[in-house]
Amino acid sequence: MSGVSRRAMLAGAAATTALLGLQPAAAAPLQAPGVYRYRLGDYRLTALYDGVWYLPIDDKFIRNAGGAEVNAALDAAFLPPSVLPISFTALLVDTGRRLVLIDTGTAGQITDTAGSLIANLAAAGVPPDRIDTILISHFHPDHIDGLKTKDGAKVFRHAEIWVPEPEWSFWMDDGNQSRASGAVLGYFRNARRIFHDIAKEVRRFRPGDEVAPGIVSVPAFGHTPGHTAFAIHSGGMSLLVMSDTVRNPYLFARHPDWQPLFDMDGPMAVAARRRMLDQAAADRMLVEAYHFPFPACGHIARTATGYELVPVEWSPL
Amino acid sequence: MSGVSRRAMLAGAAATTALLGLQPAAAAPLQAPGVYRYRLGDYRLTALYDGVWYLPIDDKFIRNAGGAEVNAALDAAFLPPSVLPISFTALLVDTGRRLVLIDTGTAGQITDTAGSLIANLAAAGVPPDRIDTILISHFHPDHIDGLKTKDGAKVFRHAEIWVPEPEWSFWMDDGNQSRASGAVLGYFRNARRIFHDIAKEVRRFRPGDEVAPGIVSVPAFGHTPGHTAFAIHSGGMSLLVMSDTVRNPYLFARHPDWQPLFDMDGPMAVAARRRMLDQAAADRMLVEAYHFPFPACGHIARTATGYELVPVEWSPL
């Protein structure tokens, strides 16, 4: 190695340390980049970690299961009681011609322990301006907040934004908002905060449509009225992007009938969850979901009482 | 953000991209850094990924199970038949006063898909010269090769190297080597290649000894004659470093009685494996193992027929 390239490398190492917050180990305040790459046929996928929300939950969090049952499920996963870890991982799809981002993270507007998506996108070498297409699964804040900064500026300035038509119709309807209260009213207001000044640009798709080359939207209503999953196909391979159909797998894959308060129509969400888990297990599909533990990708195995997520093994490309 | 700091950040981003091999996504040839940090009491731990060896295996790979059984276990983990993924993850322990590295990776001398430990150590902000202490679990090449470059130079120039006394006695004995053949003879020769010119510096510990502050060695003989695990204790928390007692969890936690050819004394290795899995499950211990999927850390749950690794959920520090 020449002196020059060695100096360049040391400078690079120092810059890396600074940029990624990777201090010498004695200080070591921050986690390494939450970036994981994998291939799907000719497409290159990148899991982008945004963080995790440690949500305190009470006996009423699952409509049809008691607090003791839920704590037993957390305990079986070696998790502390009465706190649900809600992990956030967005998916970047590089088709070779377009960069497509599915959902956008929390932008640090939900909890202090999330909001790293843009830093992780940078660690993956992609400035936000390079994103061509954004696909939104549904309008809950943790999926759409990343579209804007806290000050209301667009984050992905050159991206076409595509949203499910029934999701738009529901959340942007003033009559629906007038009948809402509590957290749901907050979601209505937040959707307006995000979309009010870009409404004309936002493109709407019918769930079931192909929304980008090789990316087909899949209706999965129930969690919200227009909640949508996606199937990505390339080179004879497929990935099912389950969105919020299944969230923390230790609760909702193992106990697919549980109806958390997050699911606006509990029975309809259970039907979508079971339909998708059944298909993934039967077809041995590669699956991905926004709230699975990072890198949020694996397979679904059927068990005697429910389903298990079998995570992919971290590997080089 | 000022113009200057913005420029610095962009320069940093470019350097990061170059250093970590993180090309813009359109090229994207390499994986993101395999670095994961977590805390144990007052200690800071860093999992450092070295890569994975996709080892073709035949009907004789497990002495006491047939190829069909092994392929069924791979299939249950959504892995292809007749290939065992052997992941390598070393553990860096920052006690606040010392940097201790447990095992050293393959140095790219075993397979093209491994050898990234030093690059990942750099991504974690730690030059090899900063390592104070190296603990070796046993003398198989994938654990000791990282001590030297291919040219025979020391990689961790300022580190004390500690090895298990019974491991040293076995592998450095000329009589034992004279009776060896095949792969095992290769291990003897490799141990001499690594240690011949640093033998006087190498320090030996008796398994059971405390080998660094809060790090106690644990005899786990069978895989090799002096194979050693470690228990790390800090601030009332403990981590069991299982070394090679359990390797790929889908084979050897689920089927603890299986005896792969790698285990020199199969029944003794099974006894060590069961003892350690039993203790980990009963005490709900945090565990780590060199060949678990990255970040190689989790808990052990007992099942009707064996054990399951429940990986830790990736989280910020």
ipTM: 0.90
Residue A9 reports pLDDT greater than 50: no
Distance CA A293, CA B295 (A): 12
Note the pTM of the prediction, 2 decimals. 0.91
Contact: A314, B295; criterion CB under 8 Å: yes
CB distance from B10 to chain A under 8 Å?
Answer: no
A30 vs B contacts (CB less than 8 Å): 37, 316-317
Q: Give one DSSP letter per residue of B79-132, joined into a string.
A: --TTEEEEEEEEEEEE-SS-EEEE----TTSS-TTB--HHHHHHHTT--GGG--
For residue B69, what are its two tokens?
């059984």
A31-60 confidence digits (pLDDT tens): 999 999 999 999 999 999 999 999 999 999
Contact: A316, B11; criterion CB under 8 Å: no
pLDDT of residue B44: 97
Rounded average pLDDT over B22-49: 79
Rounded average pLDDT over A209-230: 98
B11 vs A contacts (CB less than 8 Å): 15
Residue A78 reports pLDDT greater than 50: yes
A238 vs B contacts (CB less than 8 Å): none
Lowest mean pLDDT among A28-42, A169-183, B237-251: A28-42
Residue B25 reports pLDDT greater than 80: no
Distance CA A234, CA A97 (A): 13
Query: Residue A136: which pLDDT band, with cuts at 50, 70 and 90?
Result: very high
Nearest CA in chain B to A27: B96
- Per the CB < 8 A criterion, the answer to whether A41 and A237 are in contact is yes
Q: Which of B19, B126, B298 sits opposite A16 (nearest CB)?
A: B19
CB distance from B198 to chain A under 8 Å?
Answer: no
Lowest mean pLDDT among A83-97, A197-211, B7-21, B261-275: B7-21
Of B188, B186, B187, B194, which Cα lies nearest the Cα of B174? B188
- Per the CB < 8 A criterion, the answer to whether B159 and B99 are in contact is no
Query: Residue A14: which pLDDT band, with cuts at 50, 70 and 90?
Result: very low
Residue A6 reports pLDDT greater than 70: no
Residue A180 reports pLDDT greater than 80: yes
Nearest CA in chain A to B6: A19
Rounded average pLDDT over B290-309: 98
A79 vs B contacts (CB less than 8 Å): 313
CB distance from B238 to chain A under 8 Å?
Answer: no
Beta bridge partners of B101: B92, B134
Query: Residue A8: which pLDDT band, with cuts at 50, 70 and 90?
Result: very low
Lowest mean pLDDT among A219-223, A249-253, B2-6, B246-250: B2-6
Query: A131: buried, middle or exposed (CB in 10 Å: 19+, 13-18, 0-12)?
Result: buried
Beta-carbon-side half-sphere exposure of residue A27 (alpha carbons within 13 Å):
8
Average pLDDT of chain A to the nearest whole number? 92
- Which distant-in-sequence residues (6+ apart) come within 8 Å of A15 by Cβ? B11, B12, B15, B16, B19
pLDDT of residue B4: 30
**Phi, psi for residue A171 in degrees, rounded to 5:** -80, -25
Distance CA A91, CA A78 (A): 27
Domains and CATH numbers, chain B: 1-30 (no CATH), 33-311 (3.60.15.10)
SS3 A178: helix
Q: Which of A37, A123, A294 sits opposite B314 (nearest CB)?
A: A294
Return the number of other C-beta atoms located less than 10 Å from residue B317's C-beta. Answer: 13
pLDDT of residue A5: 33
- Per the CB < 8 A criterion, the answer to whether A259 and A267 are in contact is yes
Residue count (chain A): 317
Average pLDDT of chain B to the nearest whole number? 92
Distance CA B96, CA B94 (A): 5
- Which distant-in-sequence residues (6+ apart) come within 8 Å of A188 by Cβ? A171, A176, A177, A180
pLDDT of residue A198: 97
B176-234 confidence digits (pLDDT tens): 999 999 999 999 999 999 999 999 999 999 999 999 999 999 999 999 999 999 999 99
CB distance from B90 to chain A under 8 Å?
Answer: no
A271-280 confidence digits (pLDDT tens): 999 999 999 9
CB distance from B108 to chain A under 8 Å?
Answer: no
> What single DSSP character describes residue B194?
H
CB distance from B246 to chain A under 8 Å?
Answer: no
Query: Residue B22: which pLDDT band, with cuts at 50, 70 and 90?
Result: very low
Best B4, B6, B9, B20 residue to mutate vs chain A (most A CBs within 10 Å): B20
Q: Give one DSSP letter per residue of B240-293, joined into a string.
A: EE-TTSS-SHHHHTTSTT--BTT-SSHHHHHHHHHHHHHHHHHHT-EEE-TTSS
Of A298, A253, A297, A303, which Cα lies nearest the Cα of A273? A253
Helical packing angle, A3-19 and B3-19, nearest 10°: 120
pLDDT of residue A73: 98
Provide the phi-psi class of B78: left if phi over 0, else alpha when psi is between -120 and 50, else beta.
left
Distance CA B114, CA B104 (A): 12
Rounded average pLDDT over B66-90: 98
- Which distant-in-sequence residues (6+ apart) come within 8 Å of B92 by Cβ? A25, B45, B46, B47, B48, B99, B100, B101, B102, B121, B124, B126, B131
pLDDT of residue B30: 80
